[in-house]
Structure 1
Amino acid sequence: MPQPWIRSARYDGLLILAPPFLALAAVLALPAPYRSTAQMPLLAWVGLVVLIDVAHVYGTLFQTYFDPLKRRQRRTLLWVVPMACYAVGVALHSLGGLVFWRALAYLAVFHFIRQQYGFLRIYSRQEPRTRGDWLAPALVYYATIYPLLYWHLSPGRNFNWFIDGEFAQFDWPLGRLVASVLYVALIAAYTSFEFRRWRRTRRINLPRNLLLGGTLVSWYAGIVWFNGDLAFTLLNVVSHGIPYLALVWNGGASPRQASGQPRRGAWAGKYGLWVFLGAVALFAFLEEGLWDGLVWREHGAVFGWFQQLPAVASPALLMWLVPLLSLPQSTHYVLDGFIWRRPK
């Protein structure tokens, strides 16, 4: 039985499965301060946050608003989701900025976790059913949940998801120990099950196991092993954003798209890849420029023109502005819960 690649061994291997391992190699090559402090070089911030993290959000446009067929099929959803996200965002921000950012951070975390589970389902689609099938989903979920538990049950870390204080944290060593024991036990149980299955069938599902290994590597190293903003961002962003863009460029999760089905909409044609990458990068730059000019004022060297915009400090105005500027993210998180669903 062939391996259950989405497109091909080369495509999946380089763009979906390798990023966590390449990111870890890059972190290990960093000078020590970047693995254990809040230092973040400006160029690294631009490359990771703007050109991958923020840019990948706009990949959703090519699976929704920029695709004529899907735009017609999901017309109601594509109107309702952004309006609902904005209304909920304003309501949350009216309760306080921290309330809004905390809710958005937990929504982002859920989105990141579900992406790993989604890839697991894709790579498990050809597997015959066995009694141990629950182990792979349990491991992919706990490979992401355990580092988050560790983060929540530890003193303050040198990194955050969006802003300082977004996660509820308190130092509980016993809780970390219990979570760690369960983590090791689940890895051992899955490894034992896979070894027994290999002995019985002489076959191993390579992409599924590489996905699980990459998930373990990126989440554990980024949150538990290292305690640096650059290390966390590199592992978190590269491992999530690049596979997502690769999935979008493939046209979705179906291998049929890669076997000749023509692309539709803005990414069709000879220069479709450059249109795709250029568009997501441009949208990301414009969004971050608006954030920097209107709210953060932290990267004037990158967003010089946007510094001409008036800085907004009024809580009454921020209540309407911040949910608007974050609407691409919140819409991306919610829409992705619908656009990748398959009957099986």
Structure 2
Amino acid sequence: MENSKTYKQPWLHSRVIDGVFILSPPFVALLLVICFPAQFQTSSTIPVYYWLFLVVFIDVAHVYSTLYRTYFYHDSYKKNAFLIMVPIACYIVGVLLHSYDGMLFWRVLAYLAVFHFIRQQYGFMRLYSRHEGSNYWFRLIDKLAIYTATIYPLFYWHFEGKRNFSWFVENDIISFNSPVLLNIGLALYLVIIITYVVKEAIYMARTGVFNRPRNLLIGGTFLSWYFGIVYFNGDLAFTTLNVISHGIPYMALIWIFEKNKQDKGTDKGNLIIRYTFSKYGGIAFFVLLLSLLAYAEEGLWDGMIWKEHGSVFTLFSGLPKIDNEQILSLLIPLLALPQSTHYVLDGFIWKVKKAAN
């Protein structure tokens, strides 16, 4: 067991950086939604420039941050053929799914995204528990808590059947009404919350230690997922809580890990890696590059598929809208390839950090 006198909080970088970029986003997003109820809780539309900031420059941009951990390194392809196989496999499967049924494609992609979002929170929890010598039951309760924080709201979404938002497209998450299952789910949800609080009280009584980042991470996950999906029932509130709580911490984690790697000089990577982490690059270049890639991708989506935000994608407004089903079955999985590849790869690229788990 830890000793309170010698215990060091398990920050990934520092109290300030972790606090601002990894742990505070769920609380900031929730505060934003609560303080502006007319804009977030009752509005049925997302203002275009807020959508641009939220969806493009955070949600889509965070997808491209995976490049800093994979394809931006010289020997990625030589050392790991998996990095080549994944996008090829994702595209082939995507084409087959969309050719069979367009909704099936979006539904599979949505559930893949859901799995990725859930696993990110579990991964953060493990990182912030890496120095703890807790017994098996304490670790199990932590695991149950973080999974419950994410899975119960999704359970509610499936069995309440009246959510006014979707993950990607309308009805991509399957739902129907079942009051009995909702009551059972709520009871289990409350039991696990109480169990976690009791466990923390016992842990503190025994050790005198309070793991601040782990508790903030688990608390923020409970709040952002519950209020984003269960309590509020609007697209703007859901998107705000969902995107900010996920995208900003993920990009921060990528920056922290890759900056540490470059400081140690273990692998210099390609020119982009070296410039980003040189004295001439920095966070501004990192964010700008990811934003440009995200803007280009979303511009292609809008120019050829959606035709909804021409005012912010003027460079792509002249592209023809594609209506042919055969072409769409080839094009949509291609445009979605960064997302699908990101979701699959992210389940593997952190496994090398076993010492941190």
TM-score (norm 2): 0.92
Alignment deviations for residues 208-235 of structure 1 (CA, whole Å, 9 cap, x no partner): 1110001001100100111111111110
Query: How much has 1:250 moved relative to structure 2?
Result: 0.9
Query: How much has 1:33 moved relative to structure 2?
Result: 5.2
Q: Quick check: 1:279 aligned with 2:289?
A: yes
* Mapped contact 1:218–1:239 kept (Cα < 8 A): yes
Q: C-alpha separation between the residues in 1 aligned to 2:115 and 2:234?
A: 22
What secondary structure is seen at the aligned counterpart in 2 of 1:338?
Answer: coil
* Mapped contact 1:33–1:39 kept (Cα < 8 A): no
* Mapped contact 1:36–1:229 kept (Cα < 8 A): no
Q: C-alpha separation between the residues in 1 aligned to 2:42 and 2:338?
A: 31
Query: How much has 1:72 moved relative to structure 2?
Result: 4.3
* Mapped contact 1:15–1:243 kept (Cα < 8 A): yes
Count of residue correspondences: 340
* Mapped contact 1:34–1:228 kept (Cα < 8 A): yes
* Mapped contact 1:37–1:158 kept (Cα < 8 A): no
Structure 2 counterpart of 1:18, from 3, 13, 24 = 24
TM-score (norm 1): 0.95
Which residue identity does 1:234 align to in structure 2?
T
Q: Quick check: 1:343 aligned with 2:344?
A: no
Structure 2 counterpart of 1:268, from 270, 273, 277 = 277
What secondary structure is seen at the aligned counterpart in 2 of 1:47?
Answer: helix
Structure 2 counterpart of 1:95, from 100, 118, 121 = 100
Which residue identity does 2:264 align to in structure 1?
Q
Q: Quick check: 1:66 aligned with 2:75?
A: no
Q: C-alpha separation between the residues in 2 aligned to 1:301 and 1:291?
A: 14
Query: How much has 1:168 moved relative to structure 2?
Result: 1.1
What secondary structure is seen at the aligned counterpart in 1 of 2:347?
Answer: helix
Alignment of 1:227-246 (within 5 A): 227-246=233-252
Report the counterpart of residue 149 of structure 1 in structure 2: 155
Which residue identity does 2:158 align to in structure 1?
H
What secondary structure is seen at the aligned counterpart in 2 of 1:2?
Answer: coil
Alignment deviations for residues 217-261 of structure 1 (CA, whole Å, 9 cap, x no partner): 110010011111111111000000000000111125xx9548x42
Alignment of 1:118-129 (within 5 A): 118-129=123-134
Q: C-alpha separation between the residues in 1 aligned to 2:89 and 2:294?
A: 22
* Mapped contact 1:38–1:159 kept (Cα < 8 A): no
Alignment deviations for residues 242-290 of structure 1 (CA, whole Å, 9 cap, x no partner): 00000111125xx9548x4246431231213222111100000000000
Structure 2 counterpart of 1:108, from 89, 113, 120 = 113
The verdict on how the C-alpha distance between 1:31 and 1:133 changes in structure 2, with shifts beyond 3 A counting, is closer
Structure 2 gap segments, 5+ residues each: 1-6
Q: Quick check: 1:312 aligned with 2:315?
A: no
* Mapped contact 2:229–2:238 kept (Cα < 8 A): yes
* Mapped contact 1:292–1:300 kept (Cα < 8 A): yes
Query: How much has 1:34 moved relative to structure 2?
Result: 2.5
Q: C-alpha separation between the residues in 2 aligned to 1:145 and 1:204?
A: 25
What secondary structure is seen at the aligned counterpart in 2 of 1:6?
Answer: coil
Q: C-alpha separation between the residues in 1 aligned to 2:291 and 2:176?
A: 38
Alignment of 1:12-51 (within 5 A): 12-32=18-38, 34-51=40-57
Query: How much has 1:77 moved relative to structure 2?
Result: 1.4
Deviates more, 1:226-235 or 1:31-40: 31-40
Query: How much has 1:64 moved relative to structure 2?
Result: 0.8
Which residue identity does 2:255 align to in structure 1?
W
Alignment RMSD (CA, Å): 1.5
